Structure formats: C-alpha cells, structure tokens
Structure 1
Amino acid sequence: MVAGLLYVIGLIAVLATIVVAGYGAPGLIQLVNTTLDTPGADLVATLIDVARLLQWAVLPFVGGLALMGLGRIVMLLGAINRALRGNA
C-alpha cells in the first residue's frame, strides 16, 4: 500500500515537472535558435543560461524518480517476502 503510494507520488512529481518545464520550452528553444542564427554569438554562454533557467526542475524530477525507485524496491521486497513465506 505504502509502496504504491510512493510510486504514484513520484510519478506525479516527474510528470508535473516535465509539463511545467515543457510549457516554457518554446522560449528557450527560440533563444537557442536565435543564438545559432546570429554570427559570432557565444553558444556556450547561451546553453549555460538555458541550464540556469531550468535548474529549478532538477530537484523535483530527480526526487520523483527517487520516490518511484523506492516504491518499486519496497514492492519487490514485499513480493520476495510473500514468495518466501509461500503466500501467493
């Protein structure tokens, strides 16, 4: 029960982070395209700026993945426990 809840919470965190980051993606793509089209522009600086604009998304994304992984580990341990006891 708890394992499923952990998994669902992690899944919601990851999906919500992707949706919110994707909502701002067209502006970031336009920024990179403008930099690529401009002669003599510093592409590395632009990519660093894009990374700075998306740094907020790292913690909820990785945290959601960690919760999903923890939920799966607990599910696996519960299945192993039931199998060793002989309960299906």
Structure 2
Amino acid sequence: MMWLQVWWVWISFGLVLGILEIFLPSFVCLGFGIAAVLTGALIAIGLSVSLPQLFLIYAILSLASWLLLRRFLQLKSGSVKTFDQDIND
C-alpha cells in the first residue's frame, strides 16, 4: 500500500474524478477530486504521515470541498432554473 503515499497517484485519482464529473454531474465526484488533488499536493510538499492519517486528511478535505461546492454552486432550495429565451431565436 505504499503506492497510496505517492503524490502523483493522488493527483491522477483527482483528475480521473474530475473527468468523471463531466459524465455524472453532481458535486460529489468533483469534491472528492479536489480533495485528492489537495492531498497529492500536501504529499508533494513533504507531508509524511501514516496511511490512516492520510485517509483522515483526505476525508476531511473531501467533506470541506463538497460543502464549499454545495454552498457556492447549488441553486437555492425550492428554485428551479428556467430559461426565458430560446438559443435559436
């Protein structure tokens, strides 16, 4: 399991989740992807922790990024996105 402590594995995982977000539009994959890239960046700058601590850091970053994405990108509750004009008009 030493490969989980290599920075490029985490960044690659984050990029795959970011691409998956295109096909499955929700904030979940994007939140996990941002957290994976941030975890990879922390490892790249020299963070040296055990594997359980690394998973804890990833979980905290995932929750934080998902909450931020939900706050800034989601529609207000009860509102529906409507369009007044057609693009072809």
Same fold (TM over 0.5): no
Q: What is the TM-score normalised by the length of structure 2?
A: 0.38
Q: What is the TM-score normalised by the length of structure 1?
A: 0.38
Bigger radius of gyration = 1
Tell which has more relative contact order, 1 or 2 (C-alpha 8 A, sep 6+): 1
As a proportion of its length, which structure holds more helix?
A: 1
